[in-house]
Amino acid sequence: MKEQKSTIFETVPEGFRVVTVGSGSPKTEVGRNAPSTLVQFKDKYFLVDCGASATSTLTKIGLPVENITNMLFTHQHVDHNGDFWTFFIDGWQGLNGRRSLNLVGPRVQKLYDTTVDFFKDDLAYRARLGTASDGALTNVNIMDLTEEQHSLELDGVQITAIPVPHTAPTYAYRFEADGQSVVVSGDLAYTEDLAPFAKGVDILVIDGMMTTDFSALSEQGAENLREGLKGSHAIPEALAKMAADAEAKKVVLTHLGLGKEDTNTVNKAFSDVNFQGEIIVAEDGLVITP
């Protein structure tokens, strides 16, 4: 079942709403921007990852980036942070720019320091034009995640983060408030830790990896890619097991586009584990509600 796309962004009267801002993979392609997921709770926004074109897509769906003061990263790969510089400066500049920013994730202190150092002349120029320092040079709260579990509260939402297996330090996030919950897995290989972490979740946004056909590559190239993906992305059978064990009510498959999407294999994998929830294949700008 496909949910609606939004053109005018409005406050949610109660509970959560999720938007797959970018549903693609590291390879740029038409129709799928790089990974980025928006978690909304009432009139508060949490952007998880900020891949290429995230700022543009958010603007298209009617959400100015200056309204987003919570930026969380699952990990620091370029397909997940490539649009951060634009998000950071565009959302801050001007009289109506954001005046506070929370940055959460692995190595976010280094990302912030690098950004401020590289763009120091640009930031100074915009400050001379009248933009206050708050939200960029001051009033920025940074929480670097390490290898352990973390819990915090932002804007009335309880957020828990656990490490998951990938090729860089990576975290899955669980958002909880008013009896509802959302989990964003980030990129991950199979792990037994995800199911208890996501138990009973209303919406599970998971690294979909629907690709099983690499026929466009040479035989050796396809084999190299399969081997390389084993420890970094869950194959359909693995992601179906994680979703079923978690008893997720809705599963949103994202991070798509590494090859031909094999819907039949994915559907069979979920059927084989007797998954009882709803399966949604992400698109850019897709809106999902509990």
What's the pLDDT score for residue 151? 97
Low-confidence winner among 112-121, 160-169, 230-239 (lowest mean pLDDT):
230-239
What's the pLDDT score for residue 7? 46
pLDDT tens-place string over residues 189-219: 999 999 999 999 999 999 987 555 666 667 7
Q: Does residue 258 surpass a pLDDT of 70? A: no
pLDDT band at 263 (very low <50, low <70, confident <90, very high): confident
What's the pLDDT score for residue 226? 66
Each domain of the chain, given as residue ranges in start order, spans 16-288
pTM equals 0.93
User: What's the mean pLDDT in 43-47?
Assistant: 97
**Distance from C-alpha of 233 to C-alpha of 22, rounded to nearest angstrom:** 17
Q: Which two tokens stand for residue 73?
A: 């990263």
Contacts of 127 (CB under 8 A, 6+ apart): 133, 137
Give the strand pairing for 16-22 and 278-281: unpaired
User: What's the mean pLDDT in 153-170?
Assistant: 97
Cβ neighbour number for residue 266 with a 10 Å cutoff: 23
pLDDT tens-place string over residues 123-141: 999 999 999 999 999 999 9
State the average pLDDT for the chain.
91
What's the pLDDT score for residue 101? 98
Which H or E run includes 44?
Answer: strand 44-48
Q: Does residue 225 surpass a pLDDT of 70? A: no
pLDDT tens-place string over residues 83-110: 999 999 999 999 999 999 999 999 999 9
What letter represents residue 43's amino acid? D
The answer to whether domain 16-288 has CATH 3.60.15.10 is yes
**Distance from C-alpha of 155 to C-alpha of 172, rounded to nearest angstrom:** 19
Task: Using DSSP, state whether 118 is helix, strand or coil.
Answer: helix
pLDDT band at 1 (very low <50, low <70, confident <90, very high): very low
Q: Does residue 27 surpass a pLDDT of 60? A: yes
Q: Is 89 in contact with 136 (CB distance < 8 Å)? A: yes
Higher pLDDT, 276 or 220: 276
What's the pLDDT score for residue 5? 52
User: What's the mean pLDDT in 20-29?
Assistant: 88
